[in-house]
A and B are shown apart, each in its own frame.
Chain A
Amino acid sequence: MQVAVCVKMVPVPGQWSQIAFRDDGSLQREGIELIINPVDRNALEEALKIRQAQGGTVTVFSMGPPSCLEHLRETLAMGADRAFLLSDRNFAGADTLATSKVLAAGIRKEMPDYDLILCGSASIDSGTTQVGPQLAVHLGTAHLTEAFSISAGEQNYLQVKTSASHGHYVTNLKTPAVISVTQQLNKPRIPTLFDIMTSCNKEIIILSLTELNLPKSESGLEGSPTKVQELFFPPAKRQARILEGSIEDRVEELFKQPGVAGVLR
């Protein structure tokens, strides 16, 4: 099976508190380290398992700035055959629609014979969960989200279990398809030193807008129907009153407060 995996690089959560505003109101996030979006490793792991069982190839696609390049190395070390970084100044400011269009254009160009595209269910920084379904729409294929089990059978038939609010769905489908996966699906492998060394001669290819057969008006900020009108830090609206005295006194004082006393009755 020819499997494509979409991998996003996201800022390390531990450093999110360093994200600040510039004077012009834009976000200052330089210097913040990137990591592979955690659940995207599960998507990659599943692709590698399918290749192990059935043969085929695993190709990683990522849209992001050039600084993503070194992290794409890690996907090759995990076992991906090749990786494409879709990178262009014009891609900046993309919402999920523009992101999914660029990814679709990359896959159409480099892997028109794909069978399966795996995405993570959500990215931790924006967490929209939208890129998978939208990618499927652009490519005209089926999509499933929240997959926690994928069994690949004969002749490109898949049985997929996806979780929902009160249970789960069991779906059979024939590829092609786009499936967004959860962290329950598997346990991603950790590359060994040997893997890292042997991955050095695998390729990472950078594709820019001109190579993608996509109008500029459909990528980046220009191709994004949604715009950020305002960014702000949520205001503090709590009294932040620390109660004093013995524990008994403090608890008694607490239970006298109007919002608390009313509830006790």
Chain B
Amino acid sequence: MIGDIEEKENLWIFVELYKSEPKQVSLELIAKGRILADKFGLCVCALLIGDDVKNISPVLINAGADTVFLLEHPLLRQYRSDFYAPVILDLIRKGKPGAVFFGATPTGRDLAPAVAALAGTGCTAGCIDLELTENGALLQTVPAFGGRMMAVIVTPEQRPQIATVRPGVFQQAGFSERDGRVVDILPELPQAKFDLVEFVEESLQPSLLPSARVVVAGGAGVDSREGWELLRELTGALQGALGGSRPALDNGWIQESQMIGHSGSTIRPDLYIAVGISGDVLHMVGVQDAKVIVAVNSNSRAPIFSRSDYGIVGDYREVIPVMIDAVKKKQRS
């Protein structure tokens, strides 16, 4: 037992920090945890680990957490598996949660499987959906074979049920001034297994994709500078963000952070316009929650048309300029 938290099969969320702020995916998971917990009268507990991070607690509570487990130590300032995994294991042994969720980020993917192996339980990687049943079983949906298939994974016997969840699949909630509490816990650090020399910041342009309402994306069919200029113009007119498929990245037209799909971003815009993209499942898995999908493709038999709401069969070099004009005209009127 930790503090006076009752031993129920509570839902715990590991909070990943960047520059003293919780990552979006952690807030999304707290919000999802809240929805699941409310159905069965469970608590949502946020694991806040770091150095001098107490002031983040209210943000987590307002995002939907009932309790924040606060573990502060100067040596926990940066994420490192050799400290974080045993510290979380210790907490799990005391608090006996029903499930623990991590973001499927580089950190979460490094940490969650190690915690699961230490605890001798299962870990489901890269979930795109979570449901909880009455008996506390977590239904974890993951794409298999690059999204060609979906699998529902369960961990029938062991507890906790551990899952990493892709960023962007759940929506963050904004509660105002919720009540919650912070339980201070003194972490016991094990021996270091390596020497973390430094973290080298790389100032990548933060990706606009996840929050954009409109996303225009190009694929292998857009194969020239002029083509990408057209897409950029359309994106600008729609005040959206520009993305692309794997070949667009491979051919150097977009950056890593702009790639959409199985191995890239998962997005849920109101409108997704796919240009010169064939509609492979490994791409489409990243946009399956878009409200409306529009496809522009010169091949009427491209699979994208059956995976879109509206299709325009045609050469993008003819279609996109007309779209740009139409958008501009609409905006003037």
Binding site for B on A (CB under 8 A): 11, 13, 16-17, 19, 95-97, 100, 124-131, 133-134, 136-138, 141-146, 159, 162-173, 177, 224-234, 236, 238-243, 247-248, 250-252, 254-255, 257, 259-260, 262-264
Q: Which 10 A-B pairs have the closest CB atoms?
A: A225-B122, A226-B122, A142-B193, A173-B194, A130-B113, A259-B292, A137-B117, A128-B125, A134-B117, A230-B152
Write 30 A-B pairs (CB below 8 A) sorted by A numbering.
A19-B148, A97-B122, A125-B144, A127-B263, A133-B113, A134-B117, A142-B194, A145-B106, A164-B199, A165-B105, A165-B106, A165-B107, A166-B201, A167-B201, A169-B78, A169-B200, A170-B197, A172-B194, A177-B194, A226-B122, A226-B154, A230-B152, A234-B281, A236-B307, A242-B305, A243-B312, A247-B312, A247-B314, A251-B322, A259-B292
Which of chain B's residues have a CB closer than 8 A to the CB of A172? 194-195, 197
B200:A243 contact, CB within 8 angstroms: no
Which of chain A's residues have a CB closer than 8 A to the CB of B229? none
Which of chain A's residues have a CB closer than 8 A to the CB of B148? 16-17, 19, 233
B319:A242 contact, CB within 8 angstroms: no
B157:A225 contact, CB within 8 angstroms: yes
> How distant is B124 from chain A, measured CB to nearest CB, in Å?
6
B154:A251 contact, CB within 8 angstroms: no
Assembly CA distance A145 to B80 (angstroms): 11
B75 interfacial by beta-carbon distance below 8 Å: no
A167:B202 contact, CB within 8 angstroms: yes
**Interface size range on B against A:** 35 or more
- Given A234-B150, A238-B308, A257-B292: A262 and B199 within 8 A (CB)? no
A255:B326 contact, CB within 8 angstroms: yes
B residues 137-158 touching A (CB-CB < 8 Å)? 139, 144-158
> How distant is A98 from chain B, measured CB to nearest CB, in Å?
10
Binding site for A on B (CB under 8 A): 18, 23, 78-79, 81-82, 85, 105-107, 109-114, 116-118, 120-126, 139, 144-158, 193-202, 204, 213-214, 238, 262-263, 270-271, 281, 285, 288, 291-294, 300, 305-314, 318-319, 322-323, 326-327, 330-331
Which of chain B's residues have a CB closer than 8 A to the CB of A16? 145-146, 148
Assembly CA distance A173 to B121 (angstroms): 28
> How distant is B290 from chain A, measured CB to nearest CB, in Å?
10
A239:B309 contact, CB within 8 angstroms: yes
Question: Among B125, B150, B311, which residue has its beta carbon within 8 angstroms of that of A242?
Answer: B311
Assembly CA distance A133 to B106 (angstroms): 12
Question: Among B121, B125, B199, B200, which residue has its beta carbon within 8 angstroms of that of A129?
Answer: B125
A231:B144 contact, CB within 8 angstroms: yes
- Given A142-B82, A234-B288: A100 and B117 within 8 A (CB)? yes
Assembly CA distance A100 to B116 (angstroms): 12
Q: Specify the chain B residue showing the minimal Cβ separation from A252.
A: B326
Among B117, B118, B124, B213, which residue has the most Cβ atoms of chain A within 10 A? B117
B153:A228 contact, CB within 8 angstroms: yes
Which of chain B's residues have a CB closer than 8 A to the CB of A19? 145, 148-149
B152:A229 contact, CB within 8 angstroms: yes
> How distant is A223 from chain B, measured CB to nearest CB, in Å?
10
> How distant is B219 from chain A, measured CB to nearest CB, in Å?
17
Which of chain B's residues have a CB closer than 8 A to the CB of A241? 309-311
> How distant is A58 from chain B, measured CB to nearest CB, in Å?
23
B121:A145 contact, CB within 8 angstroms: no
- Given A127-B126, A129-B109, A240-B306: A165 and B18 within 8 A (CB)? yes
Assembly CA distance A250 to B158 (angstroms): 55
> How distant is A65 from chain B, measured CB to nearest CB, in Å?
17
Which of chain A's residues have a CB closer than 8 A to the CB of B156? 227
Known pairs A170-B198, A230-B152 / 15 extra A-B pairs, C-beta < 8 Å = A97-B117, A97-B120, A133-B81, A133-B117, A134-B114, A141-B193, A145-B109, A164-B199, A166-B202, A225-B158, A231-B144, A234-B281, A251-B312, A254-B323, A263-B270
Assembly CA distance A165 to B23 (angstroms): 10
Assembly CA distance A166 to B79 (angstroms): 13
- Given A127-B126, A128-B125, A242-B305: A247 and B145 within 8 A (CB)? no
Which of chain A's residues have a CB closer than 8 A to the CB of B310? 239, 241-243, 254, 257, 260
Assembly CA distance A228 to B153 (angstroms): 5
